Amino acid sequence: MTSRDASDAHDNGGKGGKGDGPRGGRWSDLGRPPLNATALRRALVRESSLWSEVEVVQRTGSTNSDLVALAEAGKAAEGAVLVAEEQNAARGRLDRTWSAPARSGLFFSVLLKPAEVPVHRWGWLPLLTGVAVATGLARAAGVDTALKWPNDLLVTLGGEERKAGGILAERAGPDGVVVGIGINVTLREDELPVPTAGSLSLAGAANTDRDPLLRAVLRSLEQWYGTWRDAGGDPAVSGLQETYAAGCSTLGRTVRAELPGDRSIVGEAVAVDGDGRLVLATAEGVQEPVGAGDIVHLRPE
């Protein structure tokens, strides 16, 4: 697999190099050392592992766009992992842009090909990834996180929920899904793009070393993906539905679902159904499943 910025993307395997954005060389911020690609491959790419390849590039537009293109060109196998130290055209859900300083977080995408799972259950992949990320970070970073339906990772700062990460899943050809993950690790308060953002370090994480954090997240994702795939994608049999609900801060809250077509619904989030949809109980006594849209947590009056 090859996906490199023609000007300055290169493998961060512990070797020196030039260029790391406008602030200077790659060692200009020693509090944010580069990832060790060689060590990551040694730890993650094994004969029995899901992960077939790990590539780290210095800079790219979007790891999701790069990996989707590689998959559709037949140049990436299932389990390919593409990590960027910096992204300058990253995308979130609903075509939102997203950016962060170089080496301040984990920005990566993985290629999954769940051939054993019916396509109608592939919608669980972003939720599965959320569970895996939260589980991996709890173990490796020692920080409590929560999930906002469908794919935001939340931390608590001063009693307030802040978004510290997000997930974006995209189809890659007829048999693949690329899942992109962005996690703010060491962003400082003055670097946050919006007041509602947060980071692991601001939430008091015991460990902000990105190498072990990335290993922990990918191992957790491998475990959850394997269990879900072995269950034919059944969210109940695999335990995914129950685990997601237990960690989802949206459930039990009054929320507003902003839907396509300028429509919105206000109601209590009461469940995540078997298709991964958020079920809202409205004031009219109707339970309405929401499969797409933006969810706003409303403050109690």
Are 273 and 244 spatial neighbours (Cβ–Cβ below 8 Å)? no
The structural domains of the chain, with segments of one domain joined by +, span 37-246, 251-297
Above 80 in pLDDT, residue 18? no
Residue 157 CB neighbour total at 10 angstroms: 16
Output the pTM of the full model. Answer: 0.88
* pLDDT for res 100: 83
Phi, psi dihedral angles at 65 (to 5 degrees): -60, -40
Its CATH class, for the domain covering 251-297, is: mainly beta
Are 144 and 244 spatial neighbours (Cβ–Cβ below 8 Å)? no
* pLDDT for res 88: 85
For the segment 115-128, the average pLDDT, to the nearest whole number, is 97
pLDDT in tens, 193-222: 999 999 999 999 999 999 999 999 999 999
* pLDDT for res 96: 57
Q: Where residue 29 falls among pLDDT bands split at 50, 70, 90?
A: low
Lowest-confidence segment of 22-31, 33-42, 47-56, 143-152 by average pLDDT: 22-31
Q: How far apart are CA 204 and CA 72, in angstroms?
A: 40
Above 90 in pLDDT, residue 70? yes
According to DSSP, the residues that pair with 107 across neighbouring strands are 84, 182
* pLDDT for res 278: 97
Q: How far apart are CA 121 and CA 130, in angstroms?
A: 16
The architecture (CATH level 2) of 37-246 comes to 2-Layer Sandwich (3.30)
* pLDDT for res 3: 42
Q: In Å, how far are 23, 41, 83, 209 from 60, measured between CA atoms?
A: 17, 20, 9, 22
